[in-house]
Structure 1
Amino acid sequence: MRDDPRLPSAPGFWRSPLRGPWFTSVLGLVLLAGITVLFVTGLLSYAAYNPDLAPVNDKTPDKGILGFYLFAWPTNPHWLYRLNQGVHVTLGITLIPVLLAKLWSVVPKLFALPPARSLAHALERISLLLLVGGALFEFVTGVLNVQLDYVFPGSFYPLHFYGAWVFFAAFAAHAALRTPAALRNLRGPRNDREPRPAAEPACGTDPLVSPRPGTPTVSRRGALGFVGGGALLLFATTAGQTTDGPLRRTALLAPHGGPDPGTGPNGFQINKTARYAGIRPSETSPHTWRLVVTGRTGTVRLTRTDLLRLPLHSAALPIACVEGWSTSDQWWRGVRLRDLAALVGHEDDPPDVFVESLQLRGAFRHAALRAGQVADPRSLLALYVNGEELSPDHGHPARVVVPAAPGVLNTKWVARLTFGDL
């Protein structure tokens, strides 16, 4: 049965002359570097949410030892999260053609019989199956989250987080087994870099090489050029979501890419509108809105007028989202979080703070910030942006802005701040 050319388990079923060790090795080494960067930036993104700080920040409460590396996310440099997520999302989308070409190049191995010839071969086959399934799961869920924003039956965060660990474990095992051979293939004979003519029988026993190849219509170098061109096209239509200048206009695949929406001081990217969040104008009216601040010495209630009587400070900070998009630096003005902490008894030692929003539905209605974030002089309860009052969609009457923090931790429509142990 395995020799029946009509079955995918037969070596002669797969006739493309492009497949071969050199072609697969080039793609594999590109993915080795790219996926390692993706994994590291993904872990850093998770750390930026400060999941060990408070349950409201932790979207994967059962992570156990998988959270061994977590650390207090810094506030310097202020563009740190913007860079991290820009690299993570843009690189992930850019690698899609490389991943698809690599899967195509090794598809004969998925059907090869017998399933295992030795223990090492069995481990390689298992790692390959986990690798293929994990890669498709991670890339598909990542792209869906970027393009459609939370379309999963469960939360995106645990699905992508646990999937990443399973995928990378298989990836690391496969890389350990195959990287030495891939490096040897790159140093192999130059004639392995081009497909053999159909009339020339394949030599050797490599399962990627067809024993009866079809007529080549493109060279392997040409095929790599085609894959590279596709990757470059995806890069050009995605990278602008996290940069300033002309590239932003080419970010056609980024939901919040393209030119800044609208005009004026509030004319920059918005993740969720006031309408989506269920914010009613009556709740944000100066006659009804009050900021409740609680701490060591009790509770104070402040109107917007009260806040304007406090010392106001400014900071130029971006908003950067887990989906990879970000704004340029916007000029925010408001009251320092550490000054609000001082109002309730934390003059010298600003503690952690629990921030609550007027938002009625959706993720991150509440968020916690670390003491180091509160103490940073650029961390503000912002009342203005770019010289104008915040618009309703940007968090009027007040929003939190913290350097280097994920956008969802820059809570909009703030109603309460609780300083102290969380």
Structure 2
Amino acid sequence: MRDDPRLPFSPRFWRSPLRGPWFTSVLGLVLLVGITVLFVTGLASYAAYNPGLSPVNDKTPDKGILGFYLFAWPTHPYWLYRLTQGVHVTLGITLIPVLLAKLWSVVPRLFTLPPARSLAHALERLSLLLLVGGGLFEFVTGVLNVQLDYVFPGSFYPLHFYGAWVFFAAFTAHALLKTPMALRNVRRLREERNVGEEKDVREERDELVSPDPAEPTVSRRGALWSVGGGSLLLFLTTAGRSFDGLRGTALLAPHGGADPATGPNGFQINKTAVYAGIDPVETSEDAWRLVVTGRTGTVRLSRAQLAGLPLHSSALPIACVEGWSTSDQWWRGVRLRDLAALVGHDGDPPDLLVESLQRHGAFRRAALRANQVADPRSLLALYVNGEDLSPDHGHPARIIVPAAPGVLNTKWVARLTFGDL
């Protein structure tokens, strides 16, 4: 079977002259840097939800020691989540051609016989299986999540979170084993120049370089330029989702296209009032009341009464887990810390539980940390860009907090509960 060139188990089955240690090493070093950045920004995104604050924020309650690094997410700089999640999603999409080229370059190794020559070789093959499977799983679920409809079976949050830890563990083990050799291969202009490393070259040749290569149609450098061009194309058709004037270029990012409307409320949304199941009767001036509960009891406020309180303005973006974000919008409303003071929390305000009228979609309830409540830019917003909030942007009132994920900027707010959660 191993000698039959018609079967993938034979080295002669893989005839592309592009495969080799130099080509594979260049791609591997690019992924070493890119995937490390992806993992770090992914962990930051999870921390931004403040999952340790309240069960309503935590979509991975069985994380155990995997949550060892969690910290209270700051409100400074106010664009922090916009940056970290924008980098995470845009870089992930940009790296897809590099990942696919890397997998193509090493696919003969997946068919090497015998499957395991020793215990150490068996462990290496297992880590390779986890690396390839985990990498494909993470990229596929990530890409599906940035689209309008997430169609992968199961909840995105735990699947992507646990999958990331499995993948990165295999990736780290693989990097520790292969990075020194990859660096040597890249530095070597000709594989045989350094006689002292000839053994390493031959070991790589046994698995990657075809013993019967076909005629080349493109050089390895040309192939790398093609991969880089594919990544550049994906970058140019994705990155514009977060920049005014460039949103129309975000062809691969459904949320990142042109503004959905004109006027003060004409900027991106992640779910409409219709999708959330908002009944217009409930949000009417006569029916809607904000219930605020705290140390000294409960108060009920109409929108007119809220508008009569001291109002403040904040210029803040909306940044979503899908990677898109708005430019800074001018919000005007009542400071959260002032509402806390209304129910007996003078001085340093406590944590806050926010409840929405929405009936469909995640984060109908969300918790905010005390530092988020205390920030003077954190508002229960009534207006945006000089106009009443539209129904899709959360009328009659919504939360706006600096540096927080979009889902924590709750829309259609019905109740605020200050105190221990």
User: Contact (CA 8 Å) 1:15, 1:213: kept in 2 or not?
Assistant: yes
Aligned to 2:80: 80
Deviations 1:293-335 (A, max 9, x none): 0000000000011101110000000000000000000000000
Tell me which amino acid in the other structure corresponds to 1:342.
A
Query: Where in structure 2 are the equivalents of 1:404-419 lying within 5 Å?
Result: 404-419=403-418
Distance 2:250 2:104 in 1: 28
Aligned to 2:355: 356
Tell me which amino acid in the other structure corresponds to 2:52.
D
Task: Out of 117-126 and 53-62, give the one that drifted further.
Answer: 117-126
Identity fraction in percent = 85
User: Contact (CA 8 Å) 2:48, 2:404: kept in 1 or not?
Assistant: yes
Structure 1 residues 217 and 372, CA, compared in 2 at 3 Å: closer, same or farther? same
User: Contact (CA 8 Å) 1:300, 1:344: kept in 2 or not?
Assistant: yes
Query: Where in structure 2 are the equivalents of 1:389-408 lying within 5 Å?
Result: 389-408=388-407
Aligned to 2:376: 377
Distance 1:191 1:36 in 2: 28
Distance 2:93 2:228 in 1: 13
Tell me which amino acid in the other structure corresponds to 1:63.
K
SS at the partner of 2:333? strand
Aligned to 1:197: none
User: Contact (CA 8 Å) 2:314, 2:332: kept in 1 or not?
Assistant: yes
Aligned to 2:249: 250
Aligned to 2:259: 260
Task: Out of 49-58 and 179-188, give the one that drifted further.
Answer: 179-188
Tell me whether 1:163 sits opposite 2:152 in the alignment: no
User: Contact (CA 8 Å) 1:312, 1:334: kept in 2 or not?
Assistant: yes
SS at the partner of 1:256? helix
Aligned to 2:334: 335
SS at the partner of 1:275? helix
User: Contact (CA 8 Å) 1:124, 1:177: kept in 2 or not?
Assistant: no
Distance 1:110 1:88 in 2: 29
Aligned to 1:196: none
Distance 1:66 1:33 in 2: 22
Aligned to 1:220: 220
Query: Where in structure 2 are the equivalents of 1:46-57 lying within 5 Å?
Result: 46-57=46-57
Pairwise CA distance, 1:291: 0.1
Distance 2:189 2:119 in 1: 30
Aligned to 1:130: 130
SS at the partner of 1:284? coil
Aligned to 1:387: 386
SS at the partner of 2:150? coil
Tell me which amino acid in the other structure corresponds to 2:20.
G
Pairwise CA distance, 1:124: 2.0
**Matched positions, count:** 413
Aligned to 2:108: 108
Normalising by structure 2, we get a TM-score of 0.96
Distance 2:272 2:26 in 1: 45
User: Contact (CA 8 Å) 1:400, 1:411: kept in 2 or not?
Assistant: yes
Tell me which amino acid in the other structure corresponds to 1:371.
A
Pairwise CA distance, 1:244: 3.1
Unmatched runs of 5 consecutive residues or more in structure 1: 194-201
Tell me whether 1:274 sits opposite 2:273 in the alignment: yes
Pairwise CA distance, 1:192: 7.9
SS at the partner of 1:327? coil
SS at the partner of 2:268? coil
Aligned to 1:70: 70
Task: Out of 21-30 and 181-190, give the one that drifted further.
Answer: 181-190
Deviations 1:10-63 (A, max 9, x none): 111100000000000000000000000000000000000000000000000000
SS at the partner of 1:281? coil
Aligned to 1:239: 239
Tell me which amino acid in the other structure corresponds to 2:212.
R
Normalising by structure 1, we get a TM-score of 0.96
Tell me which amino acid in the other structure corresponds to 1:349.
D
Deviations 1:271-300 (A, max 9, x none): 100000000110000000000000000000
Pairwise CA distance, 1:117: 2.3
SS at the partner of 1:418? strand
SS at the partner of 2:367? strand
SS at the partner of 2:354? strand
Unmatched runs of 5 consecutive residues or more in structure 2: 194-200
Deviations 1:131-174 (A, max 9, x none): 00000000000001111433233210000000000000000000
User: Contact (CA 8 Å) 2:389, 2:397: kept in 1 or not?
Assistant: yes
Pairwise CA distance, 1:248: 2.1
Structure 1 residues 59 and 17, CA, compared in 2 at 3 Å: closer, same or farther? same
Aligned to 2:295: 296
Aligned to 2:286: 287
Aligned to 1:45: 45
Distance 1:81 1:149 in 2: 22
Tell me which amino acid in the other structure corresponds to 1:127.
S
Pairwise CA distance, 1:191: 6.2
Pairwise CA distance, 1:122: 2.2
Tell me which amino acid in the other structure corresponds to 2:303.
R
Distance 2:144 2:348 in 1: 42
Task: Out of 113-122 and 324-333, give the one that drifted further.
Answer: 113-122
User: Contact (CA 8 Å) 1:295, 1:346: kept in 2 or not?
Assistant: yes
Pairwise CA distance, 1:203: 7.0
Distance 1:117 1:191 in 2: 26
Pairwise CA distance, 1:127: 1.1
Pairwise CA distance, 1:119: 3.5
Query: Where in structure 2 are the equivalents of 1:157-196 lying within 5 Å?
Result: 157-190=157-190
User: Contact (CA 8 Å) 1:22, 1:192: kept in 2 or not?
Assistant: no
Distance 1:284 1:374 in 2: 24
Aligned to 2:142: 142
User: Contact (CA 8 Å) 1:20, 1:192: kept in 2 or not?
Assistant: no
Deviations 1:82-127 (A, max 9, x none): 0011000000000000000000000000000111223332222111
